[in-house]
Each structure stands twice: as C-alpha cells, then as structure tokens.
Structure 1
C-alpha cells in the first residue's frame, strides 16, 4: 500500500490531521504501507487529478481519498483485521467525533497555530498556504492568530465533552482505541508537529489520553518530527 500524506519543508514533518487518522488506522489494522510525504504544491504531480488533497491511499491500484472513506474502505476490505468501528455504533460515534473535531477543535487550533503551519513550509508552499487560508478566513494569517494566547487559555473548556467520555474508559472506543480516537488524535498531532505551543495541559485526562495514543503501535505518533 502507498499512502500519500502532507509534509512541511522537512519531509519528516508530516502534519495533516487527516493523514494521521489514516496512519493510525493502517497501524490499527496491522497493514504494511509505505508513506509518501508530499508538499502542498506537489500534490497535483503526485496524485494527478484524482484528488486535490491528501491523504490518498493506493492499495494495489485501488485509490481512495478522504480519511473517513479510507477508514470505511479498510474496514470493508480487511474485515478480518482488528475493527476500526466495531459495528454501526462505532461508525456513528466516529461521525460525531468528526463533527466535533471539524467544527470545534480544529477551528480553535487554527486560531492558535495557523501561522506556525505557514512557518514550517517551504517557500513555494508558504505562498500557496497564505493565499488559500487568507481567502478562506477573510483575513491575514497574522490577524488570524493575533489573539492566540487568549485562544489558548480558552481552549481547555472546549474539551469538556472528551473529559466526560474518558471517565468511562482509557479511550473514546472504550478499553481500546477505535477510529473515533484517531480522528481526535489527528487534530492534536497536527498541533504537536507544527507548533511548540502547549496545547494540552499535563495531568489533564485529555492530555493523558493523547500520550497513550502517541505510544500506540510502537510509538508511531511519538516518533513524528516536530
């Protein structure tokens, strides 16, 4: 299998939250894969017109895009391997966490680390990133993160639903992780890889959960360059 992911100027700095969902899912399924870190502006040259974004999984010529679609593909194709969902309930849980991450967690993180992402890119990718993100947010990157310190102070309160869930088990999936865990892990790994800012507070149950996730699968998450 080939997995195309997103990287900064340093190919070892792989930071896409969506790519990390797939890295963890492939590891969960105990599937061997080769990772191809790809810069923003190199994506069209690597995956052609199949997808404007990564991750893209190429499984012997069968290409799949979008992290959730890749997880569903892995679950259906490799049903004999450890399950990412453990049934319909796990898929529903994952969709809930996906919405929470995309609408609450990641926008808050962008107001903290948005400029740090730019700073880890090669010059040609910095230009692309600045133009596309400033168009998306309707402001400069500098304005986006102008109040990052107050955003950081407010961030822990946004994690209360996750603290509640972790009262009942070490992972969102219960005794062991599921795709729902990897969705949220991807967001925090994104911040960890691109920014030195202390997003999570040591001793907090969410921080403890994240540390457990970093150690999964021989520490594949912890080994990522930051």
Structure 2
C-alpha cells in the first residue's frame, strides 16, 4: 500500500490533519504501507490527476481519496483486522464528530496557524497557499493573523464536547481508540507540527488524551517533530 500525504518544504513536516487520520487508521488496522509526503503543488500530478487533495490511498490497483472514505474502505476490505468504527452505527455517529471537527475545530486552528502554515511551505507552495486561502477567506493572511491572540485564548473552549466525552471514557471510541479519536487527533497533530504555541494546558483532559494518542501504534504521532 502507498499513502500520499502532505508535507511542507521538508518532507519531515507532515502536517495535514486529514492525512494524519489516514495514517492512524492504517496503523490501527495493522497494515503495512509506504507514506509518500507530497507538496501542495505536486498533488495534481499524483496518479494521473486522481485527486486534487490528499490523502490518497493506493491499495494495489485501487485508489481511494478522502480520509473518511479511506477508513470506511479499510474496514470493509479488511474486516478481519481491528475495526475503526465498531459497526455501521459507529460510521454514522462518527460522521457527526467529523462535522464538529470540520466546522468548529479546523476553522479555529486555521485562523491561528495561517501564517505558520505558510512559513513552513516551499516557495512555490507559499504562492499557491496565499492565493487560494486569501481567496477563500476574503482577507490577507496577515489580516487573519491579526486576531491570532484572541483565537488562541478562545480555542480551548471549543473542545468542551471532547472534555465532556472524556469524563466518561478513556477514548472517544469508548474503552479503545477508534476513528473518532483519529479525527480530533489529526486536528491537534496539525497544530503540534505547525504551531510553536501551546494551545492547551498540560493538565487539560484533552491534552492528556492527546498525549495518549501520540503514544499509540509505537508512537507513530511522535515520529514527526513538534514545531519549535
């Protein structure tokens, strides 16, 4: 198997939250794979233009894009290995958690880290990133970054639903990690790899859960250095 992921100017700066979901899903299933970190501007050439975004999983002749679709594919194709969802109901419920992450956590982190992301990219990717993000946001990166301190201050409150769940269970998946955990982990790993500012206190239940996630699968998450 080959998994195409996203990287900055250095191949070691693998920061995409969506790619991290797929990385953790493959480790969870115990499947051997080769990770191929790819820069933004190189993605359109991958696999004859199969997808405008990563992650993309190549499993033999099969290509699958989108982290959630990759996870569903892995559970359906390799049912003898540990489940990522715990059944069909788990898939449906995890969709709701994905929505919370996509529409609450990701926008907040984007506003905090826009300039950090830009600065970790290769020059040709910086031009692409600036143009595409400024068009999407309707403001320059610097204008968005002007509100950074307020966004950092208010970010922990956006994770209150995760804290609520962790009052009752060790993992978002219950007594063991599932793809639900990897969704939120991917977002916080994005911040860990790109942003040098600590966004959570060390005694925050979410921070402690995140540390447990970093230890999963022989420390796969810790294999990539944190921003400094």
The TM-score range, normalised by the shorter chain, is over 0.9
The within-5 A match list for 1:117-136 is 117-136=117-136
Which aligned pairs between 1:16-95 and structure 2 lie closer than 5 A?
16-95=16-95
Matched pairs, number: 226
State the alpha-carbon separation in 1 of the partners of residues 12 and 215 from structure 2: 18
Q: So what's the TM-score if we normalise by structure 1?
A: 0.98
Q: State the shift of 1:45 in Å.
A: 2.1
Deviations 1:34-85 (A, max 9, x none): 0000000011222332100100000012000011110000000000000000
3-state DSSP of counterpart to 1:200: coil
SS in 1 for 2:104: helix
CA shift, 1:89, in A, is 2.6
Q: Distance in 1 between matches of 2:93 and 2:220?
A: 24
> Structure 1 regions of 5+ residues with no counterpart?
none
Unaligned runs of 5+ in 2: none
2: CA distance, partners of 1:113 / 1:45:
27
Q: Distance in 1 between matches of 2:83 and 2:49?
A: 31
CA distance in 2, matches of 1:217, 1:147: 37
Q: Write the distance in 1 (CA, Å) between the matches of 2:67 and 2:161.
A: 23
**Greater shift in the superposed pair: 43-52 or 124-133:** 43-52
Q: Secondary structure at the match of 2:223?
A: coil
Larger displacement relative to structure 2 (53-62 or 39-48): 39-48
Q: For 2:75 and 2:200, locate their aligned partners in 1 and report how far apart those are by CA, in whole Å.
A: 31
Q: 1:170-199: per-residue Cα shift (whole Å, max 9, x none)?
A: 110011100000011000001111110112
Between 204-213 and 144-153, the greater mean CA deviation after superposition: 144-153
**Does the 8 Å contact 1:173/1:180 carry over to 2?**
yes
Give the equivalent residue in structure 1 for 2:151. Answer: 151
Shift of 1:6: 0.1
Specify the SS of the correspondent of 1:168. coil
Indicate conservation of the 8 Å contact 1:90/1:178, yes or no: no
Aligned residue runs from structure 1 range 101-116, under 5 A: 101-116=101-116
